[in-house]
Structure 1
Amino acid sequence: MTSPVDVAQEFCAANGHTFIGPVGAGAFKETFHIVLATGGPQALKVFQPGFSPERTSRELSAMQRCSHPNIANLTSIAGFYHDGIQFLLSVEEFLPGGTLTTRLQRGSFTRTEALGIGNQLVNAVAHIASHDLVHRDIKPDNILFRQDGVTPVIVDFGLVRDLVRTSLTHTWFMRGPGTPYFASPEQLRNEKAMIDWRSDQFSLGVVMTIGLFGIHPYQEEEALPAQTVERVAERAPQSNRFLKCAKEVGMPFLIRMTAPWPVERFRLPENLQVVWEEASR
């Protein structure tokens, strides 16, 4: 059986690139570190053949439309045959600074760190929204850092929603795409008509709350992750502990970002950008 690593190694050999090794794997693609024949380090993604060509097309199209310092840059797309099977490959910039997940294993953000990283990510989400796109999977694993270790970059548009095209998610699904622990109530309930950039706003608010306080905004004392997800889906109130932490650190806008209903969150990306910039000053 052909494996993605075989495809990646053969692609590199055929084009004079250097294969370094695996970086990570998802359900439908694997990522490898390579060095181009021209000398530049890159991330090579090998997509599983036959997986939802429409969704793969939207992922790559979304990345091509975005151009922002805090969003991964797509270098090229190629079709490559291996053992008579055609694979879709993409070459993207290589981000050596590790994931936000790894960064948080070393400890929580200070307020200054959170404001600096959050401000950049808010601007990235605003850029995504300007193209009528919703990432739908903003989480620590999908936020990587550049070499400097302080510049965050949003990656993996595999679940992107293009608001000007027909949704690929069936209406009868009980739960929409996304990682449940970071997903908004409208994603968890597959309320497709409510999903827009404010869903990404919610997820980013969850990420920054965890980064600052080590808790989910809806997490009650000693609650299991599944119980927290259910509270979000039910649109239960945010926990008192979270409300207290957000106010004490002088970042009450986190409460609004993670409000249960989209209409309660910041209406426009520029509204959210203003409060982060003001807090950063």
Structure 2
Amino acid sequence: MQIYCSQQHINNGSHRFCTHCGEALPLSVGQVIDNRYEIARILGQGGFGRSYLAIDRQKSRKTCVLKEFAPNIVKPQELEKAKELFEREANVLKKIQHPQIPRFHASFQAKIGTKDFFFLVQDYIEGDNYDQLFTQRQSQGKSFSEEEVINLLHNILPILTYIHSLDIVHRDISPDNLILRQSDNLPVLIDFGGVKQLPADQGFWRTQLAVNATLLGKKGYAPEEQLLQGKVYKSSDFYSLAVTALVLITGKEPNLLYDSYNGVWFWGKEIKVSPKLEAVFKKMLAYKPSDRYQKAEQVIKDLPLPSLSSTPQTMQTPTNNPHPYITKLKTEVVAPGIKRARTLHSGVHNKTTLFVQKIPMPIWLRPFTVSFIMTTGMLLTGAGVFALGNFAVKGITSITVPQIEVPQIPSINNSGNGNNGKRSIQQISSRLQKLEISANFFNNTVNEVFYTQKPELNKRQLTEKPADAALREQWNYVADQLLNNIEKANLSETARKKIGSYSQQDSQRWEQLAKAGRLGKYKSFQDLRADTYQTFEPLFPGQERGKLNQKTFLQIWYAIASDKVENK
């Protein structure tokens, strides 16, 4: 019998790994694992292995989900580390016991052929996820009503109360990670699992790294502190839940509801909800984590009361797709400049992206970071999914793991810093990390310069196409030159860290100090202003006095002034 890997390479049925690419091949239907779990069919696959619907021979042939981790490891010490991480993950999963979260049953290691494989066993949930439910509504010219979404929030928030009490943050709430359970019509939160995930060739899960930040979340659903900095708070879940609710109500992708460049939600335009619900959403979606709700109970208190006439039981499940289907979320390497055109409810809707990068990348570079797409959000019609995925757990010790090799983007000639070498995004990122400057500020400033130089682009996103190669190279050059000039400013660490947060209040404070005679050599604020421009203008020629953008170059001006005040 011939079998195929995800790359469609032909292999002999007796092989466990693809002889062409080394990928672990699927287990055979009818094969029994650990003398207990009989493989019924494959549910999905990704970089770490596969998921199977299995029959538990020791529990009256009850169905369950068997999640396979297939680390492609040879060295005994590496295998031991894999086992250690796997067991740590399983111990965390055992903590979660909630009626609206699929139950964890077991974890074990099994030898198949000459290789060791790790498995997790969890509940198999019958039902349809909210992405599928919405697709059906849309096909009928309908959408979720505000009352239905309010009821959904009232049913989901107690789950967050529970997991947050365990210091667990889900980090990946979205329509396809919420299942309307067939048995009781209650929403079930799925997609739990490892603390951090390794790349495809190692197949087990990783804790937070000491050097490389492993960032998880769906673009548009995850807040910026999560995608850019890897920082996760309990309020991050409230943000994702609010985006999910808005998507269900409006039927539009997050990027059509939010202007990421200016940080503005389209309230009253694309988003039309009642004033009370809008106020709740605005607080859940606050840019700063500290400005959001801190507890699920607070959200519940402010939410409109649930409507008895719009309970989840009234929501129809799809009947025109009797056979389960799986969306294969395969591992991808995304080149710089990618902007994928896709509709919200396509077959590959809302892939969870694993961003592996050395520092928070600029917002503009989000689509360009190397991403590994995992199978932790499998879409099943009439079949359900199992719960395995991504959350953050406090107090887990960082470990040393093999370095991840990341493809380099087209590099540019860097003559601005005297190195006469090649400057890649990774190198730019490394410099940005050392300077400890806000990625949001950096992105906005580079974009301002780049799109001023290229007005014909009308601020469109660059693509990975060869036609945009020169433009991507120019963007890199602008970024590199900006870093060169910031470095030449010799700013203090304190001043650099505050870039992006300076405001008119700072200049007002300095003006008051000058009036009080407490600004050292500067007799007036105008003296400080003139001295600051003497430093600023040679570094950033062409920036007109009095016309600096508050979000970009004026931030650098403030940083220079701040150092002058401190060294007065």
Shorter-chain TM-score: which interval? Answer: 0.7 to 0.9
Shift of the 246–27 alpha-carbon distance from structure 1 to 2, 3 Å rule, reads farther
What is the CA–CA distance in structure 2 between the aligned matches of 1:187 and 1:135, rounded to whole Å? 12
- Counterpart for residue 138 of structure 1: 173
Shift of the 110–160 alpha-carbon distance from structure 1 to 2, 3 Å rule, reads farther
How far 1:235 moved relative to its partner?
6.7
- Counterpart for residue 493 of structure 2: none
What is the CA–CA distance in structure 2 between the aligned matches of 1:196 and 1:58, rounded to whole Å? 22
How far 1:12 moved relative to its partner?
4.4
Indicate the SS of the match to 1:43. Answer: strand
| Structure 2 unmatched ranges of 5 or more | 1-14, 17-23, 74-80, 138-142, 197-205, 308-568
1:144–1:155 CA contact under 8 A, matched in 2: yes
What is the CA–CA distance in structure 2 between the aligned matches of 1:55 and 1:110, rounded to whole Å? 43
- Counterpart for residue 529 of structure 2: none
How far 1:60 moved relative to its partner?
2.9
1:135–1:160 CA contact under 8 A, matched in 2: no
| Structure 1 unmatched ranges of 5 or more | 221-227
- Counterpart for residue 96 of structure 1: 126
| Matched ranges for 1:192-231 at <5 A | 192=231, 195-216=232-253, 219-220=256-257, 231=260
How far 1:249 moved relative to its partner?
8.1
- Counterpart for residue 26 of structure 1: 46
What is the CA–CA distance in structure 2 between the aligned matches of 1:217 and 1:127, rounded to whole Å? 27
Indicate the SS of the match to 2:54. Answer: strand
- Counterpart for residue 61 of structure 2: 39
1:145–1:151 CA contact under 8 A, matched in 2: yes
| Matched ranges for 1:1-281 at <5 A | 1-2=15-16, 3=24, 5-6=26-27, 9-12=30-33, 14-15=35-36, 17-37=37-57, 38-49=60-71, 53=82, 56-57=86-87, 59-107=89-137, 108-148=143-183, 150-158=185-193, 160=195, 168-169=208-209, 173=213, 176-190=215-229, 192=231, 195-216=232-253, 219-220=256-257, 231=260, 236-241=263-268, 244-247=271-274, 250-276=277-303, 278-280=304-306
Shift of the 270–50 alpha-carbon distance from structure 1 to 2, 3 Å rule, reads farther
Shift of the 23–169 alpha-carbon distance from structure 1 to 2, 3 Å rule, reads same
What is the CA–CA distance in structure 1 between the aligned matches of 2:61 and 2:269, rounded to whole Å? 47
How far 1:184 moved relative to its partner?
0.8
**Percent of aligned pairs with the same amino acid:** 21
Residues 224-275 of structure 1 deviation map (CA, whole Å, 9 limit, x = unaligned): xxxx5x81xx570211346851336845312221222112211222212323
Shift of the 66–8 alpha-carbon distance from structure 1 to 2, 3 Å rule, reads farther
What is the CA–CA distance in structure 2 between the aligned matches of 1:77 and 1:155, rounded to whole Å? 18
What is the CA–CA distance in structure 1 between the aligned matches of 2:90 and 2:116, rounded to whole Å? 17
Indicate the SS of the match to 1:6. Answer: coil
What is the CA–CA distance in structure 1 between the aligned matches of 2:71 and 2:227, rounded to whole Å? 28
1:187–1:199 CA contact under 8 A, matched in 2: yes
How far 1:13 moved relative to its partner?
8.2
Task: Note the aligned Cα RMSD (angstroms).
Answer: 3.1
How far 1:64 moved relative to its partner?
1.2
Indicate the SS of the match to 1:246. Answer: coil
Using the size of structure 2 for normalisation, the TM-score is 0.42
Shift of the 22–167 alpha-carbon distance from structure 1 to 2, 3 Å rule, reads closer
What is the CA–CA distance in structure 2 between the aligned matches of 1:270 and 1:41, rounded to whole Å? 35
What is the CA–CA distance in structure 2 between the aligned matches of 1:77 and 1:50, rounded to whole Å? 19
Instruction: Judging by fraction of residues, say which structure has more helix.
Output: 1
Using the size of structure 1 for normalisation, the TM-score is 0.79
